[in-house]
Amino acid sequence: MSRKYFGTDGVRGEVGQFPITPEFVMKLGYAAGRVLVDHDKAHRPTVLIGKDTRISGYMLEAALQAGFSAAGVNVLLTGPLPTPGIAYLTRALRLEAGVMISASHNPFQDNGIKFFAEGGKKLDDAVELEIEAMLEQPMATNPSEELGRVRRIEGAVERYIEFCKSSFPNDRDLKGLKLVVDCAHGATYHVAPKVFHELGAEVVTIGGEPDGYNINEKVGATYPKTLQVAVLEHHADYGIALDGDGDRLIMVDREGTVYDGDQLIYVIAKARAAKGELKGGVVGTVMTNLAMELALNKQGVAFGRAKVGDRYVLEMLHGQGWQVGGEASGHILCLDCHSTGDGIISSLQVLASLTDLGMSLADACSDWQPYPQTLINVRHNGCDWKGASAEALAAAEQALQGRGRVVLRPSGTEPVVRVMVEADDKALADQWAQSIAAAIQRVA
């Protein structure tokens, strides 16, 4: 059964446009609260609500807490805190659920609501469907004596800082390292610099002055150019770029070279495999560069491909019993450290891995160079694009055997087919991407 409101990462959209309106978000809080109460009628549930630094966070926080309270659910408010911090505290405080108000790497005009289940884990699809079914019912307020209480908790930031630090080896520190940390004017602005400073690094902070409107604006993991300039200007050893809610990581070395999620995952896996500490293999997505898969295979490390989205990477990791995975976008999962992707913790794992390997980032990634990828977005009118592209696809796969691969992926939000061809030769990738795209365009 398909979901009406929930996407792959909760409910998200432009503020003021359905579903990100105070009216709907209040009803969403009520519906989620009713589902929690129905799951355990013997105890009054408590949820944790956090947010990033968007101006709309205040409005949506008030709407959510009103909905939960009306359903008889107690609410704890953290104020601005990274998404992985909400997942951690939901588990640490033994709460029934956690909620993060954020649109991650999107601009300030967008916002969203993401739920965590008990233990800080992702919400099951079945529970999301229960919430959606409850949204179709009229909202009713509990009697006054049955309303949930709302209070702001102290020490949430400090607890999360200590949790991040605990993921770094106890017998090591970051003394002697100069780091530039880009907080994207987002939820990590009062967390990340303290983590690295308390571990001994000299820290230069950029993107650390949120005003409600500047989140992700020419800063952060989706705009590493600002970090590159700062690393070179300050003669830093590394740059660390996080996104608005702190679940993505991109890094820059002292030469100003950018390293994406695939490369950072590779460094973590390589170091763990060398020590015999990598549990199973690594999970990427259908878009993960083939060169990375081949490099891991050469080291005897298995590689699995999930659908695009950290939600699906997480599902495959759990299914395989593995621990390390992620996406080129910077979502990195180290399940022995945290139940969800965490940019700060992932950066600490990369820094620890480089120490283990005795290498720089450039040296650790020198085993492979990403194959050129050609991506063409083809608009269609609902035609049979699979049938139209079948002959060209078969020819491409035959020509690329051992040298590349093809991925055809329909967009989930618009009538577009994404044609991605990857090959060890750029001209080859261009040739076959254009061939497949032309076949679809002839019937579109």
Assess whether 105 and 212 both reside in one domain.
Answer: no
Assess whether 19 and 40 both reside in one domain.
Answer: yes
Average pLDDT over residues 166-182: 98
β-pairing, 332-334 vs 324-326, is: antiparallel
**Residue with the two structure tokens 């770029």:** 241
What is the domain count for the chain? 4
Per-residue tokens: 386: 């699979």
β-pairing, 178-182 vs 46-51, is: unpaired
Assess whether 408 and 295 both reside in one domain.
Answer: no
Length of the chain: 444
Average pLDDT over residues 167-179: 98
Average pLDDT over residues 150-161: 98
pLDDT tier at 83, thresholds 50, 70, 90: very high
Residue 1's pLDDT is 62
Assess whether 345 and 401 both reside in one domain.
Answer: no
Q: Is residue 98 part of a domain?
A: yes
**Residue with the two structure tokens 């954020």:** 102
Q: Is residue 2 part of a domain?
A: no
Look at residue 235 and tell me whether its pLDDT is greater than 80.
Answer: yes
Q: What is the 3-state secondary structure (H, E, C) of the chain?
A: CCCCCCECCEEEEECCCCCCCHHHHHHHHHHHHHHHHHHCCCCCCEEEEEECCCCCHHHHHHHHHHHHHHCCCEEEEEEECCHHHHHHHHHHCCCCEEEEECCCCCCCCEEEEEEEEHHHCECCHHHHHHHHHHHCCCCCCCCHHHCCCEEECCCHHHHHHHHHHHCCCCCCCCCCCEEEEECCCCCCCCCHHHHHHHCCCEEEEECCCCCCCCCCCCCCCCCCHHHHHHHHHHCCCEEEEECCCCCEEEEEECCCCEECHHHHHHHHHHHHHHCCCCCCCEEEECCCCHHHHHHHHHCCCCEEEECCCHHHHHHHHHHHCCCEEECCCCEEEECCCCCCCCHHHHHHHHHHHHHHHCCCHHHHCCCCCCCCEEEEEEECCCCCHHHHHHHHHHHHHHHCCCCEEEEEEECCCCCEEEEEEEECCHHHHHHHHHHHHHHHHCCC
Per-residue tokens: 143: 């009697």
Q: Is residue 5 part of a domain?
A: no
pLDDT tier at 190, thresholds 50, 70, 90: very high
Laid out side by side, the sheet with 373-379 consists of: 373-379, 416-423, 404-410
Closest CA to 301 of 319, 324, 285: 324
The model's pLDDT over 295-341, given as tens digits with 9 standing for 90+, comes to 999 999 999 999 988 999 999 999 999 999 999 999 999 999 999 99
Assess whether 307 and 430 both reside in one domain.
Answer: no
Among 154, 188, 211, where does a domain finish? 154
Residue 99's pLDDT is 99
Q: Is residue 1 part of a domain?
A: no
Torsion 280-284-286-288 (CA) sign:
negative
- Single-letter residue type at 440: I
Residue 432's pLDDT is 98
Look at residue 52 and tell me whether its pLDDT is greater than 70.
Answer: yes
Whichever domain contains 420, its CATH number is 3.30.310.50
Q: Is residue 209 part of a domain?
A: yes
The model's pLDDT over 7-32, given as tens digits with 9 standing for 90+, comes to 888 999 999 999 999 999 999 999 99
Please provide the average confidence, as pLDDT, over all residues in the chain. Answer: 97
Assess whether 354 and 341 both reside in one domain.
Answer: yes
Residue 444's pLDDT is 78
Assess whether 327 and 305 both reside in one domain.
Answer: yes
pLDDT tier at 3, thresholds 50, 70, 90: confident
Domain containing 83 equals 11-154
Average pLDDT over residues 149-156: 97
Among 323, 341, 364, where does a domain finish? 364
Assess whether 243 and 265 both reside in one domain.
Answer: no
Whichever domain contains 63, its CATH number is 3.40.120.10
Buried-exposed string 212-243: b where 16+ CB fall within 10 A, e elsewhere: eebbbbebbbbbbebbbebbeeeebbbbbbbb
Assess whether 216 and 144 both reside in one domain.
Answer: no
Asked if 53 and 188 count as a contact pair (C-beta separation under 8 A), the reply is no
Look at residue 2 and tell me whether its pLDDT is greater than 90.
Answer: no
- Give the Cα separation of 251 and 354 in Å (integer): 13
Q: Is residue 270 part of a domain?
A: yes
Distances (CA, A) of 216 to 58, 208, 210: 18, 11, 10
Residue 411's pLDDT is 80
Q: Is residue 4 part of a domain?
A: no
Residue 402's pLDDT is 87
- Single-letter residue type at 298: K
Q: Which residues are designated catalytic?
A: 104
Assess whether 267 and 207 both reside in one domain.
Answer: no
The model's pLDDT over 327-382, given as tens digits with 9 standing for 90+, comes to 999 999 999 999 999 999 999 999 999 999 999 999 999 999 999 999 999 999 88
Average pLDDT over residues 279-299: 96
Contacts of residue 362, defined as CB under 8 A and 6 or more positions apart, other chains included, come to: 253, 255, 257
**Residue with the two structure tokens 């300030």:** 108
Q: Is residue 232 part of a domain?
A: yes
Assess whether 184 and 297 both reside in one domain.
Answer: no
Q: What percent of the chain has pLDDT over 70?
A: 99
Assess whether 219 and 88 both reside in one domain.
Answer: no
Closest CA to 120 of 272, 335, 372: 335
- Give the Cα separation of 224 and 278 in Å (integer): 29
- Give the Cα separation of 126 and 132 in Å (integer): 10
Which neighbouring-strand residues pair with 159?
none
Say what the pTM is.
Answer: 0.94
Among 192, 224, 256, where does a domain finish? 256
Look at residue 156 and tell me whether its pLDDT is greater than 90.
Answer: yes
